[in-house]
A and B are shown apart, each in its own frame.
Chain A
């Protein structure tokens, strides 16, 4: 049993090696056939022609989109571009906000409001940001309902 399994493995290995050899030979033949300046020139000229065709087609589609009132892929791309710009602006603002928070971090303790006394029954708290400047804040009933 073990012997036949070994034979099978050996056969598969030989098959694989032979297949790799054939594949490599074919690939090298294709690549050396294509690797010529003349082929490059043909590809280049074809790409020029194709570019011209694409340009004309794009222009036609733009005209048709105006005539028949449908958006082109460029229109969609332009909207997506606007969204990207908005995202970048928000990103920048977020960064500035974070920088601001970090730089004012040292003053944070001073600016923080301290709750001196909280009266749950009266829904109010006495707070202070500066000694001697107490202030009453009444909790909104609406927010309680929302909760």
Chain B
């Protein structure tokens, strides 16, 4: 009964160890069996989904592929916020969780610098953090990360009305305090696929394939395993991103400090996919013109929103090569 509310598969498949905790957040450490690189990887995942998608199944896990390759990996899992966290904003997540977590990871690994991986909204947080970071970030890798919200990819008429300021939705959000996971799921489904039956058809057609059924079940658990959003974050996303598009204009503030993208000097790899309905390329690519990085690369893949960082249980070639050249291979 204790585990009634726990999501199955959330612990992933790779051995890990908790090295720091704060409120509901945990910093996980995945030790490489043989460390081959001196720059560890710190993963920031989205605030609306659980990060176990990155370590969901053996042979299809990004984290497993990274540690097998010889990287020490750290990942911050923000946990599920409760009503007591309703006032938490992106500023809190960035300065009190991500920044602190990165410091803990650097201290734990005794590394000189670190690589940051950001996925989706976690990537947006990574960009904001990198723009004010005092920690030595050597590489910044952004997977399907929205930074420019200027042209709405969906519901443009709603965004237009929102920008014209005809209505204020913050009262409802304030009253809720925490946007329940079911509301988050409904919102994501509304902008992507309100009707959703082809995954079930795939399951039916592959019902005799045990490996497929197992993978489907795990993926479906992740798809439906959204996490609640604090009202502070929800309002900030609506106001600062959707309405005012502050990040790409260098107008975002983190605890009063301006998040200037030109402050980012880390080696930058930006990954987008052609078929992503949630985060299209025109939300992703404008960061390339704004950062101060000299070494910057984009990589466009085919496919959808997930599955960008692992292929057949290994790191995809583009990522493997990019990281190898920039992660100081350890001298054996």
- A contacts, CB < 8 Å to B: 12, 15-16, 19-20, 23, 26-27, 30-31, 34-37, 39-41, 44-45, 47-48, 50-51, 54-55, 58, 73-74, 76-78, 80-81, 84, 87-88, 91
Contacts and interface: CB of A to CB of B under 8 A. Distances in A.
A127 to B, nearest CB: 32
9 contacts: A16-B198, A16-B201, A31-B191, A35-B156, A37-B158, A44-B166, A76-B83, A77-B177, A88-B22
A40 B165 CA distance: 12
B169 to A, nearest CB: 5
Contact of B162 (A23, A40, A45, A81): A40
Interface string B74-98: 0000000011111000000000000
Contacts of A44: 166-169
A27 B194 contact: yes
Interface string B160-187: 1110001111011011110000000000
Given A30-B194, A37-B160, A87-B23, A80 B201 contact: no
Contact of A84 (B23, B156, B171, B205): B23
Interface of B: 22-23, 82-86, 154-158, 160-162, 166-169, 171-172, 174-177, 190-198, 201-202, 205
B174 A35 contact: no
Contacts of B161: 37, 40-41
Contacts of B167: 40-41, 44-45
A19 B240 CA distance: 38
A111 B106 CA distance: 29
Given A76-B83, A76-B84, A87-B22, 10 more contacts: A15-B205, A27-B194, A35-B154, A44-B166, A47-B172, A51-B171, A54-B172, A77-B84, A77-B177, A88-B22
B153 to A, nearest CB: 11
A90 to B, nearest CB: 11
Nearest to A84: B23
Given A35-B156, A78-B84, A48 B172 contact: yes
A31 B198 CA distance: 18
Contact of B172 (A15, A51, A80, A91): A51
B106 to A, nearest CB: 14
Contacts of B174: 51
B26 to A, nearest CB: 13
B84 A19 contact: no
